[in-house]
Structure 1
Amino acid sequence: MGNFQLWSPAMSYSVSPIGFVRSCFKEKFAIPRQPHLAPAARGVLELVAPFDQPEAIEGLEHVSHVWLLFLFHQALEDKPRLKVRPPRLGGNQSMGVFATRATHRPNGIGQSVVALDKIEPGKLYLSGIDLLDGTPVLDIKPYVPYADCISSATNSMADAAPRLIKVNWQPQALQQASEQAQRLQQPLVELIEQCLAQDPRPAYQSPQPERRYGTRLWDVEVRWHYPQPDQICVLEVVPGT
């Protein structure tokens, strides 16, 4: 279990993960940019000692959703950034880091609210996640609807979910995805559609029909292209190499 050093102008702190996420997302590309945009995205939070004992999660059976505080473990940086280029603004407009949820954080800390589907000793089964496989989790907090849901809250930079684009399938690719879903016992077809409908390519990039894109979900490779700029066609869903 690794330790992660956090610092402040006055003193430094050391924090250790309480567990690690085993996620359907094996690489960063095509992960939804916020939780719950892909309800079919599933994972398991595997707790480590001493938090893998029943006492640590006693009472969570009363909770439908939890906040996860975690580390962007593949985006940790020695030099803090004051400004970032959030994907929501097209990736070519700078914004103060604290006005965004960009992965490049001063201390690499992220937060997501996710559905808690099932509890087993030392394991929490989650859905609606936006977390990369192997993500270190620092803390779990129960979602409290009356306090965490603020109906009057505003954010003019992100006032609605991103516009979805149409996802079509080559017949063979849909058959492949259905077969792999049955093998995995996971909603793979829905996961692919929900993730790709978010349009994972950088907003500043104009996709050409001949260009092929791909990512890994669970242990399968998904490949697609853009026959039109506002449309995706899934070409292939095959076991990963």
Structure 2
Amino acid sequence: MASYQFNVVGYVRSPYKQKFAIPRQPGLIPEATGYLELEPEYCDEAIVRGIDSFSHLWLLFIFHETADKGWSPMVRPPRLGGNARKGVFATRATFRPNPVGLSVVKLEGIERQNGKLRLKLSGIDLL
């Protein structure tokens, strides 16, 4: 089976500290703001040149809290009361064969702080 390795380009700094507070979809709480802080090797402003012409960004991320816990083909989504079982690909469950998620966020701006380059985001639904 093929596998791939990715480089971490940044970390999300979110207002959410536990998974139960996170909205079930991006954009449900537009005032929820966070930041994507880029790793030092990606802090060259050329790397984000032109990104401000977009209103929204797609973020690929790792479900870091469950990445090493394995996956399950069937899950019980909280939205269904936790009783009905669904296939993992029919849900937003974090226990996936690959712990990768996708979220769309609104780009509010680009900032430099303490030598770090970061993107200000809103409508965030990430931990």
Q: TM > 0.5 between the two?
A: yes
Of 26, 29, 39, 2:20 maps to 29
Q: Which amino acid aligns with 2:106?
A: A
Structure 2 residues not aligned, in runs of 5+: none
CA displacement 1:180-201 (0-9 Å, x = unmatched):
xxxxxxxxxxxxxxxxxxxxxx
Q: Which amino acid aligns with 2:81?
A: G
In structure 2, what is the equivalent of residue 123 of structure 1? 118
Q: Which has the higher contact order (CA 8 A, sep 6+)?
A: 2
The 5-angstrom pairing of residues 36-75 of structure 1 reads 36-75=27-66
The 5-angstrom pairing of residues 202-221 of structure 1 reads none
The 5-angstrom pairing of residues 81-120 of structure 1 reads 81-120=72-111
Q: State the aligned residue count.
A: 123
Post-superposition shift, 1:78?
A: 4.5
CA displacement 1:59-114 (0-9 Å, x = unmatched):
11100100100011011145321111112222111111111111212111111101
Q: Distance in 1 between matches of 2:100 and 2:28?
A: 20
Post-superposition shift, 1:49?
A: 3.1
Q: Distance in 2 between matches of 1:40 and 1:19?
A: 22
- Higher-Rg member (1/2): 1
The answer to whether the Cα contact below 8 Å between 1:77 and 1:104 also exists between their aligned partners in 2 is no
The answer to whether the Cα contact below 8 Å between 2:74 and 2:86 also exists between their aligned partners in 1 is yes
State the superposition RMSD in angstroms.
1.4
Post-superposition shift, 1:120?
A: 2.2
Q: Which amino acid aligns with 2:24?
A: R
Q: Distance in 2 between matches of 1:33 and 1:76?
A: 19
In structure 1, what is the equivalent of residue 70 of structure 2? 79
What SS is found at the alignment partner of 1:130? coil
Q: TM-score with structure 1 length normalisation? A: 0.49
Q: Distance in 2 between matches of 1:35 and 1:97?
A: 19
In structure 2, what is the equivalent of residue 200 of structure 1? none
Q: Distance in 2 between matches of 1:48 and 1:125?
A: 15
The answer to whether the Cα contact below 8 Å between 2:60 and 2:100 also exists between their aligned partners in 1 is yes
Identity %: 54
Q: TM-score with structure 2 length normalisation? A: 0.89
